């Protein structure tokens, strides 16, 4: 799929920045829809089904984090935050709500386009995969970001599911720590291996029969992690 086939929804209350983003994206071949409020963004996201959303957190009618949560409740399309908020906790909160990446203002045009392309590539690869995967005792639905053990739902936070998605996309292969951190938290967090280990432990609690003796989510010492289906 070429960039010209992708539709991007820009949610930004600053008219000048909206204009800049529209020109940048259209010059790169994207089709662009604009929204200056969260209310309008939800209408656009539901009716026009964009392929990706760029969201400013400082919206006049609703905080951007709540908007991310609303959009994520009905679609798995990439959501990139574009905000002047630089505090680490605010970035983490946006990612926890379901955002796929975070770019701070003032932004570099090349970096923003590169992150958008990467997010769209991940989205296309996920869409091309089988919608469901049997993983030990769980059935994982990638398209709807759901997991079940028999008839019982198993809850994953947005970040936990993003981590699981990265591992599923590379099923059976070793994924380096840097690659996982880059895809889940972004390149600015590459040194945060402690956070990765914490989330790996949380994921094992949900997918392994014996989390202390993992059979599905394996540690490859000094390199990263590998996810396998039972018996493979």
d(CA 229, CA 227) in angstroms, rounded, equals 7
d(CA 142, CA 184) in angstroms, rounded, equals 15
What pLDDT score does 130 carry? 55
Same domain, 21 and 8: yes
What pLDDT score does 127 carry? 56
Same domain, 35 and 108: yes
Same domain, 27 and 73: yes
> What average pLDDT does range 127-135 have in this prediction?
68
Same domain, 158 and 69: no
Residue 230's φ and ψ, nearest 5 degrees, are -55, 130
Domain boundary among 108, 127, 146: 127
What pLDDT score does 21 carry? 96
What pLDDT score does 1 carry? 46
> What average pLDDT does range 137-155 have in this prediction?
84
Same domain, 89 and 112: yes
Higher pLDDT, 17 or 191: 17
Check pLDDT > 60 for residue 2.
no
What pLDDT score does 129 carry? 54
Same domain, 101 and 214: no
For residue 186, the number of C-alpha atoms closer than 13 Å in the C-beta half-sphere is 20
Domain boundary among 66, 101, 127: 127
Can you spell out the DSSP letters for 64-118? HHHHHHHHHTT----EEEEES---HHHHHHHHHHT-SEEEESS--HHHHHHHHHH
Percent of the chain exceeding pLDDT 90 equals 38
CB 7 within 8 A of CB 48: yes
Check pLDDT > 60 for residue 95.
yes
pLDDT tens-digit map of 171-229: 788 888 888 888 788 777 778 889 999 999 999 999 998 999 999 999 988 888 989 87
Higher pLDDT, 165 or 13: 13
Domain count, the chain: 2
Domain boundary among 73, 102, 127: 127
Which among 208, 214, 121 is positioned nearest to 166, based on CA atoms?
Answer: 121
pLDDT tens-digit map of 39-85: 999 999 988 889 999 999 989 999 889 999 889 888 888 999 998 87
pTM of the model: 0.59
- The verdict on residue 206 lying in a domain is yes
Same domain, 119 and 154: no
d(CA 207, CA 133) in angstroms, rounded, equals 12
What pLDDT score does 84 carry? 83
Residue 162's φ and ψ, nearest 5 degrees, are -65, -40
CATH of the domain at 90: 3.40.50.2300
Q: Which range, of 11-15, 71-75, 114-118, averages the lowest pLDDT?
A: 71-75
CB 38 within 8 A of CB 45: no
Q: Which domain holds residue 110?
A: 3-127
What average pLDDT does the structure give for the chain? 86
- Burial class of residue 164 in the structure, from the number of CB atoms within 10 Å of its CB (0-12 exposed, 13-18 middle, 19+ buried): buried
Confidence band, pLDDT 50/70/90 cuts, at residue 128: low
d(CA 92, CA 87) in angstroms, rounded, equals 9
């Amino acid at each position: 799929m070429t960039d010209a086939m992708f539709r991007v929804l820009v949610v930004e209350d600053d008219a000048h920045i909206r204009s800049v983003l529209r020109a940048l994206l259209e010059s790169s071949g994207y089709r662009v829809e604009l929204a200056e409020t969260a209310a309008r963004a939800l209408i656009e996201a539901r009716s026009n089904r964009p392929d990706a959303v760029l969201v400013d957190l400082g919206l006049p009618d609703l905080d951007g984090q709540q908007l991310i949560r609303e959009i994520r409740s009905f679609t798995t399309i990439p959501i990139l935050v574009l905000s002047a908020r630089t505090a680490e906790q605010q970035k983490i909160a946006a990612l926890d709500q379901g955002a796929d990446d975070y770019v701070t203002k003032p932004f570099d045009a090349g970096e923003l386009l590169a992150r958008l392309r990467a997010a769209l590539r991940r989205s296309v690869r996920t869409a091309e995969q089988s919608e469901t995967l049997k993983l030990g005792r769980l059935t994982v639905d990638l398209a709807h970001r759901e997991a079940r053990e028999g008839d019982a739902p198993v809850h994953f936070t947005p970040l936990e599911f993003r981590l699981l998605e990265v591992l599923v996309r590379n099923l059976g292969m070793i994924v380096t720590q840097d690659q996982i951190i880059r895809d889940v938290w972004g390149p600015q967090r590459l040194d945060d291996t402690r956070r990765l280990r914490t989330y790996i432990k949380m994921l094992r609690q949900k997918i392994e029969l014996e989390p202390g003796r993992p059979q599905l989510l394996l540690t490859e010492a000094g390199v990263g992690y590998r996810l396998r289906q039972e018996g493979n």
